[in-house]
Structure 1
């Protein structure tokens, strides 16, 4: 790897099949028989990459791996759900799959947005597609509802730890699925970048305590027995409740709002009480998304990529109770943070005083003027 890739400038790796192709019966490795040690292969495979990173490169290890085993999260590895089918049933099953996977101790997970497998030559949906396929035929063929499926999957993907699109389509850019789909995909691509200060800070929290930042409702609301079996919605960090739309042709869905807090509709700012199931409008350009009362969301300025230094453009506060958030910054590429070269800014919202205060490192902001927006109150 060092001779053929690192020496040529590559600084991250898609290890893909981090599992042995051979069946365990009849296999014998250095550590013992395959029937006994087959499952640990991904741990040692990713560790070989990680150890090489720490020895030969200054950049952080980043290894995209298909398989995992306990401990592989320490090897700079991120995972995905393999070569899945491109249909609505698969999309539906990805939501509980992701919740369960990250709960096993490996916080970085994603799907191939849109599915990996080749599309069927023809597919006619039961309902009229919400996005016309007519100007995307060269990419989707006769799969009439695929542009709609891809858009819904992309909306969901924007709220996964790893946000990545991959698959067998001839083209896979945001402009590849038709003129109706393009502005919606652009909207969620921009939203992902806007949320990056929040997301990167969540990643720091995961580094500190091991807890995933994508998690089932049972992790945050253990006192609410109604969340025990909820597998089609989840928390993305302490603030955002995500409820993906996973059925073709629908423009609304039911969402359970956990008890013990109020919730704000992210798109409309309407405030609702927890402990109830609500029916939420979900036109094709909207994924149901709620913000927990007391949340502080740092939002970044528009950037082309995370190679750019991104300043905080706005801090949105959702009142209803006191709240705290730690904004984390480092250089984003090296291990200098292990030497203390990082910054933490603490935000605190006092609901009684209706005031947001900052302490710690001085956050890099676009402008202090109009920086804070209190939802339902104003600036």
Structure 2
């Protein structure tokens, strides 16, 4: 939200008060509190009839410093609040030196000098200034409608770039943008977003998290071009500066604060096929799809039933439509006998026609208006109500309905919707409706995910979620929502996923071929390669089926090629997944995450690193023309073996069976011997694809995890002159070693491979 009219003036109807000078500082051993006057105090009378801002500075975790700015402290906060991890004793250390107070936490220091104008300065471990809240950096404002806002501004350095703020489909670099953190069902072609996260990451090696679950308005160099401003309609604002110095360090600390992603089961990384949305289907249709994939040699891992598995006008009552699925238990048994997992679509709404509506209403499980009426509307489902997940009883009731589906053979749920949450309602626990608008999706997905963990066990739970807020990364997987079937939407989807990955989310997917409309075969084939080189891969559409043979025999070949390739890559990919679970570093990584020191990577949004060592550049043209940037080092194309030395921009042309897919110099890729499934025995005849550097003392390691993400074997590679020596720990089974463009060898325990 903008409060100023240009640089000099305040907007009509706005009154704004800036922290101007320090009046006192109360320091403890691990935190301090300062009071700031909003005007110069030259005599005692100046303290009368004037506001005073309280600013609390503290550290919840090492490398994270929080600032809470409060105008009137008496406002009641009914919640909800983000659940944050914090050291109960505090993680910082306060030092006083004359007029200067400093709070240091790990590599991050906050400095306040009482002798000068009000300024909060954040410095890194090397003493370099990261950012500061200067002359207009701490304030409150009232607007003509009587609303009260608290705001902060943090300085942007020369050339500094800002990323994240959730899954945003607007330009990847957020400088110059106005971003309102407010859930909306707006597709992938506007400034609205399904996943709004009040966290941004800076190219200068720090992040900022605004700890407010409601609407947070960001002006990213868009009101004051040298500042990132964020404001909330409240009496206080709390934000955390998160230290780096590398972007990976920022994400590690941020996810330590807000929650690390769970590790999805390995089977979920295989190919998902759905019925699509409004298409006609029954068991015969489903069986024909499954048979068709098998006949064409395209391994399938998950079959998903979208909305119309239930009766029309009755979503969600979790009952199979008997007209098209008269024997759901038998059907699911038959599908599971073929090795498939089963997913079904759900949402948190209950239509009035469903018998569950009366049941939920009688039990008090639906959200109500202030006058006691059940909140209803006809958008999406006729007369639908909204499950009140703030009620423990409603959560248990909802889980009991889902458990019946699990008992029938369902394995996971697509948790759709959760964005259009009203604010003119009363919640069971008294939550503030404005704060609950964004937060509702967190309760929704947590309710479903916790049931899956309880019934299927930890490590087996996975959802396919559309909406999320801060902390939602704990409940993977998330997909990019409703996109068009076009190259432009394909690029939009990637931008959204890359922004989400810089917001703490480890796993992300999208609808292969696009959701709305029917893709041109060229779009579908190009999207297949992109989708199967994402963390999770799903064929899904709206009004048409997404079975590959509907798009020609070449599409079938492309689907088969990249599905088998993904299965071979699973030991590597699951290692990256385990890293996301441990540290918060995502599987799909914007280039700047792996190469923060390379300016050429900072605005690249049409390619990414898949794990630490694979560079993927999807092709967004029918003819196969694509530009790709390769950072410093020697890169080897995984499919062709071509070697390219960077840094370099390349213009390439690829057929539908290829795309820029480069392996980083120094990488050791463990490949599965069995490409028929994503969750096979990865130590059964694996191949280590070794890309040595020219360093005479080069060594590297490759880890093959088990299906729980724990390392099952470690392979150490050492260069010894003109050969490589590879030794295995944790396994005595045979393995192969291959050097692209060179020799290969096989053995057990230890293998030596000549380089020439």
Q: TM class, shorter-chain normalised?
A: 0.7 to 0.9
Match of 2:656 in 1: 284
Gapped regions of structure 2 (runs ≥ 5): 1-398, 745-756
Distance 1:43 1:104 in 2: 15
Q: Kindly tell me: are residues 180 and 275 of structure 1, through their superposed partners in 2, closer, same or farther at Cα, counting changes over 3 Å?
A: same
Distance 1:70 1:228 in 2: 24
Q: Kindly tell me: are residues 170 and 257 of structure 1, through their superposed partners in 2, closer, same or farther at Cα, counting changes over 3 Å?
A: same
The answer to which structure has the higher strand fraction is 2
TM-score, normalised via structure 1 length: 0.82
Q: In the TM superposition, what is the alpha-carbon distance from 1:242 to its structure 2 partner? A: 0.6
Matched, 1:360 2:736: no
Distance 2:724 2:711 in 1: 23
Distance 2:430 2:527 in 1: 41
Alignment of 1:201-280 (within 5 A): 201-247=575-621, 249-259=622-632, 261-280=633-652
Asked whether the equivalents of residues 319 and 375 of structure 1 are also in contact (C-alpha less than 8 Å), the reply is no
Q: In the TM superposition, what is the alpha-carbon distance from 1:10 to its structure 2 partner? A: 2.1
Q: In the TM superposition, what is the alpha-carbon distance from 1:201 to its structure 2 partner? A: 1.3
Question: Partner of 1:286: helix, strand, or coil?
Answer: coil
Matched, 1:22 2:421: yes
Q: Give CA deviations for 1:119-154 in whole Å, capped at 9, x if unaligned.
A: 3xxxxxxxxxxxxxxxxxxxxxxx6xx111000001
TM-score, normalised via structure 2 length: 0.43
Alignment of 1:316-335 (within 5 A): 316-320=689-693, 322=698, 324-331=700-707
Q: Kindly tell me: are residues 319 and 82 of structure 1, through their superposed partners in 2, closer, same or farther at Cα, counting changes over 3 Å?
A: same
Match of 1:11 in 2: 411
Question: Partner of 2:548: helix, strand, or coil?
Answer: coil
Q: In the TM superposition, what is the alpha-carbon distance from 1:293 to its structure 2 partner? A: 0.8
Matched, 1:38 2:437: yes
Q: In the TM superposition, what is the alpha-carbon distance from 1:33 to its structure 2 partner? A: 2.2
Match of 2:686 in 1: 313
Matched, 1:159 2:533: yes
Q: Kindly tell me: are residues 323 and 181 of structure 1, through their superposed partners in 2, closer, same or farther at Cα, counting changes over 3 Å?
A: farther
Q: In the TM superposition, what is the alpha-carbon distance from 1:4 to its structure 2 partner? A: 2.6
Q: Give CA deviations for 1:208-232 in whole Å, capped at 9, x if unaligned.
A: 2110121111111111111111111
Q: Kindly tell me: are residues 277 and 306 of structure 1, through their superposed partners in 2, closer, same or farther at Cα, counting changes over 3 Å?
A: closer
Q: Kindly tell me: are residues 363 and 243 of structure 1, through their superposed partners in 2, closer, same or farther at Cα, counting changes over 3 Å?
A: farther
Asked whether the equivalents of residues 473 and 505 of structure 2 are also in contact (C-alpha less than 8 Å), the reply is yes
Distance 2:626 2:525 in 1: 16
Match of 1:115 in 2: 514
Question: Partner of 1:65: helix, strand, or coil?
Answer: coil
Asked whether the equivalents of residues 515 and 541 of structure 2 are also in contact (C-alpha less than 8 Å), the reply is yes
Matched, 1:70 2:443: no
Asked whether the equivalents of residues 317 and 372 of structure 1 are also in contact (C-alpha less than 8 Å), the reply is yes
Distance 1:42 1:356 in 2: 51
Question: Partner of 2:656: helix, strand, or coil?
Answer: coil
Q: Kindly tell me: are residues 309 and 350 of structure 1, through their superposed partners in 2, closer, same or farther at Cα, counting changes over 3 Å?
A: closer
Match of 2:498 in 1: 99
Match of 1:346 in 2: 714
Q: Give CA deviations for 1:13-71 in whole Å, capped at 9, x if unaligned.
A: 11112x15333344545251221221111221121123223333336211111111121
Match of 1:372 in 2: 737
Distance 2:603 2:732 in 1: 40
Gapped regions of structure 1 (runs ≥ 5): 120-142
Asked whether the equivalents of residues 674 and 680 of structure 2 are also in contact (C-alpha less than 8 Å), the reply is no
Distance 1:229 1:176 in 2: 37
Question: Partner of 1:284: helix, strand, or coil?
Answer: coil
Question: Partner of 1:4: helix, strand, or coil?
Answer: helix
Asked whether the equivalents of residues 254 and 279 of structure 1 are also in contact (C-alpha less than 8 Å), the reply is yes
Asked whether the equivalents of residues 635 and 665 of structure 2 are also in contact (C-alpha less than 8 Å), the reply is yes
Q: In the TM superposition, what is the alpha-carbon distance from 1:312 to its structure 2 partner? A: 4.1
Asked whether the equivalents of residues 627 and 652 of structure 2 are also in contact (C-alpha less than 8 Å), the reply is yes
Between 103-112 and 55-64, the greater mean CA deviation after superposition: 55-64
Asked whether the equivalents of residues 108 and 162 of structure 1 are also in contact (C-alpha less than 8 Å), the reply is yes
Q: Give CA deviations for 1:83-107 in whole Å, capped at 9, x if unaligned.
A: 2111121012122221111111111
Distance 1:297 1:312 in 2: 14
Distance 1:61 1:284 in 2: 34
Q: Kindly tell me: are residues 344 and 275 of structure 1, through their superposed partners in 2, closer, same or farther at Cα, counting changes over 3 Å?
A: same
Distance 1:48 1:35 in 2: 21
Question: Partner of 1:66: helix, strand, or coil?
Answer: coil
Question: Partner of 1:176: helix, strand, or coil?
Answer: helix
Distance 2:412 2:701 in 1: 31
Asked whether the equivalents of residues 107 and 214 of structure 1 are also in contact (C-alpha less than 8 Å), the reply is yes
Total equivalences in the alignment: 338
Distance 2:702 2:686 in 1: 16
Asked whether the equivalents of residues 345 and 363 of structure 1 are also in contact (C-alpha less than 8 Å), the reply is no
Distance 2:649 2:719 in 1: 26
Q: In the TM superposition, what is the alpha-carbon distance from 1:305 to its structure 2 partner? A: 2.5
Between 351-360 and 193-202, the greater mean CA deviation after superposition: 351-360
Alignment of 1:83-98 (within 5 A): 83-98=482-497
Asked whether the equivalents of residues 482 and 514 of structure 2 are also in contact (C-alpha less than 8 Å), the reply is yes
Question: Partner of 2:663: helix, strand, or coil?
Answer: strand
Distance 1:273 1:184 in 2: 28
Distance 1:363 1:237 in 2: 27
Q: Kindly tell me: are residues 106 and 303 of structure 1, through their superposed partners in 2, closer, same or farther at Cα, counting changes over 3 Å?
A: same
